């Protein structure tokens, strides 16, 4: 995930994507370490940059460094003195392995997550809410019944009285999946219909419920142009009613197309985020 240098849109590129769906430019970034300008897809080799699976930033092809605040740096700082102690014979290899395993367990099972100031997790703010919105428009749904189900869950929240409280368990329909309800709940938070309220239960666990409110839509929330119609050749957006690109034609005969035929347009979800707040503005909390 990142920001388009041309139009400022917050977005996440999917596999094999290199362009901003909003303005069409090939994304580029300046490396914080060596100031080298790197394009997500090299113009000459057509190779895409490698992505760090820990921080989500691209490795600079010039100095091979990802994000300045990548968690891997914390791992290095933790393990370096331990490895130095091995050389000094202060600890055994077995002791070091125990330390490494405990540290990995802490990383894996005590994972932090990022949430916005309203309590919406970053995964929902950037992607999951977008998926629920396009389904409510009938895109990527099996049938009209599937579309109506998402709208029904949202209307249930909308029809609550101001000041009423609820939980995901109370909103969940029989036979439905819990994550589908959470999708709609987080959408309602962004639209100002619900407020997330946390509390500590008697057993000491951190829990939360939701209060029906009547607030303004979050200033960072953006739900325009979620579905786009893109030419498979030039990658430019066309009106949703177009089936073929008016500008691109085949120059040679192929197995499925004749010379002069127009290239097809394909509908897809925009790679921009429904939340246009930058990643660094999301706070880290323990799950």
**H or E segment and range at residue 123:** helix 122-123
Alpha helices in 174-274 (DSSP H): 178-190
Please name the helix (run of DSSP H) or strand (run of DSSP E) that holds residue 195, with its range, or none.
strand 194-200
pLDDT digits (tens, 9 = 90+) for 208-233: 899 999 999 999 999 989 999 999 99
> Are 209 and 160 spatial neighbours (Cβ–Cβ below 8 Å)?
no
158 falls within a domain: yes
Residue 169 lies in a domain: yes
The pLDDT value recorded for residue 88 is 63
Domain annotation covers residue 252:
yes
Q: Give a yes or no: residue 91 inside a domain.
A: yes
For residues 67 and 201, give the distance between their C-alpha atoms in angstroms, rounded to a whole number. 38
Say yes or no: 158 and 203 in one domain: yes
In a domain, 227, yes or no: no
Could you give the 3-state DSSP secondary structure of residue 229? strand
d(CA 76, CA 82): 10
Residues 215 and 239 placed together within one structural domain of the fold: no
Tell me if residue 287 falls in helix, strand or coil: coil
Range of the domain at 206: 117-222+274-286
Same-domain pairing of 128 and 152:
yes
Does residue 210 share a domain with residue 122?
Answer: yes
CATH (domain of 170) = 1.10.10
- β-partners of residue 268 are 228
Residue numbers in the chain where pLDDT is lower than 70 = 1, 85-92, 105-112, 143, 287
Looking at the structure, tell me whether residues 65 and 143 fall in a common domain: no
| Residue 184, pLDDT score | 92
Q: Write b or e for each residue in 70-88: b if 16 or more Cβ atoms lie within 10 A of its Cβ, otherwise e.
A: beeeeeeeeeeeeeeeeee
Count of the separate structural domains present in the chain: 4
Tell me the HSE value of 282 on the side-chain side, using a 13 A CA sphere.
23
Give the contacts of 194 (CB within 8 A, at least 6 positions apart): 157, 185, 188, 210, 211, 212, 213
**Are 135 and 261 in a shared domain?**
no
- Claim to verify: residue 130 and residue 207 sit in the same structural domain: yes
- Helix or strand or coil: residue 124? helix
Are 62 and 188 in the same domain?
A: no
Q: Is residue 43 part of a domain?
A: yes
Q: Closest by alpha carbon to 186, among 199, 177, 176, 195?
A: 195
Same domain, 129 and 203: yes
Distance, in Å, from the CA atom of 282 to the CA atom of 53, rounded to the nearest integer, reads 19
Within-domain flag for 41: yes
Is the domain of 179 the same as that of 282? yes
3-state secondary structure at position 7: coil
282 domain-assigned: yes
The answer on 177 and 126 residing in a single domain is yes
Residues 150 and 282 in one domain: yes
């Amino acid at each position: 995930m990142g920001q388009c240098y041309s139009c400022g849109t917050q977005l996440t590129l999917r596999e094999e994507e290199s362009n901003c769906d909003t303005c069409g430019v090939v994304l580029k970034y300046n490396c914080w370490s060596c100031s080298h300008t790197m394009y997500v897809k090299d113009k000459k080799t057509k190779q895409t940059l490698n992505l760090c699976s820990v921080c989500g930033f691209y490795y600079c092809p010039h100095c091979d460094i990802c994000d300045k605040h990548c968690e891997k740096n914390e791992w290095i700082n933790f393990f370096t003195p331990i490895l130095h102690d091995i050389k000094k014979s202060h600890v055994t290899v077995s002791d070091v392995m125990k330390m490494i395993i405990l540290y990995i367990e802490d990383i894996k099972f005590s994972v932090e997550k990022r949430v916005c100031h309203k309590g919406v997790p970053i995964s929902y703010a950037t992607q999951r809410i977008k998926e629920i919105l396009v389904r409510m428009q009938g895109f990527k749904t099996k049938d009209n019944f599937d579309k109506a189900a998402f709208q029904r869950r949202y209307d249930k929240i909308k029809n609550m009285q101001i000041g009423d409280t609820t939980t995901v368990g109370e909103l969940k329909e029989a036979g439905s999946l819990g994550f589908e309800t959470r999708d709609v709940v987080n959408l309602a938070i962004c639209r100002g219909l619900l407020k997330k309220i946390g509390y500590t239960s008697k057993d000491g666990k951190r829990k939360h419920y939701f209060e029906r409110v009547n607030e303004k839509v979050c200033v960072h929330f953006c739900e325009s142009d979620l579905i786009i119609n893109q030419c498979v050749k030039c990658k430019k957006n066309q009106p949703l009613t177009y089936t073929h690109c008016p500008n691109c034609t085949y120059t040679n005969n192929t197995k499925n197309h004749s010379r002069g035929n127009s290239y097809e347009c394909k509908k897809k979800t925009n790679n921009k985020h429904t939340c246009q707040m930058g990643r660094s503005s999301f706070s880290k909390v323990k799950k």
